[in-house]
Amino acid sequence: MADKKETKTLERIYNVPLRKEFQKAPNWKRTGKAVVALREFIAKNMKSDNVKLGKEVNDALWQNGIRNPPHHLKVTVTKDEKGEVKVGLFGFKKKDEKKASKKETKIAKKEEPKAVPETTTKTESNKEENLSIKSEKKTVTK
């Protein structure tokens, strides 16, 4: 049998406490300090210095501005074979999953045959009736 190469990825969910760290900084630098604290927490717990924060995590940190970051942040962390750690917001779908689901729905819609009505529609039958009434009126008035 052929040897299968399995990718070893480690995935964990953390609720990161940020309040103790960002309270050590002045209020105009608090969110910056929270970002640094998040990176340090993930680096310590995942045992890797190569930490990359996702766009949605950054948006969640900066949502209330520079002076008021969230006290806790729930994140999903994945570590690949190379030691690269990616941090995403908990419960947030990845772009690849969204794109795949959109493509599947588009393909499914294209494959569905469109139903063609066999009988005439109401508008067509109304037009025929109107034409017959007009022709009768013309014959009567002559």
Alpha-carbon span 138 to 142, nearest angstrom: 7
Q: Residue-wise pLDDT tens for the chain (142 aa)?
A: 455 566 788 999 999 999 999 999 999 999 999 999 999 999 999 999 999 999 999 999 999 999 999 999 999 999 999 999 999 999 987 766 666 666 666 676 666 655 655 555 556 666 666 666 666 656 555 5
Q: CB under 8 Å to 39, separation ≥6 — which residues?
A: 51, 53
- The H or E element containing residue 17 is strand 10-17
Structural domain boundaries in the chain? 10-95
Q: Quote the CATH superfamily of domain 10-95.
A: Ribosomal protein L31 (3.10.440.10)
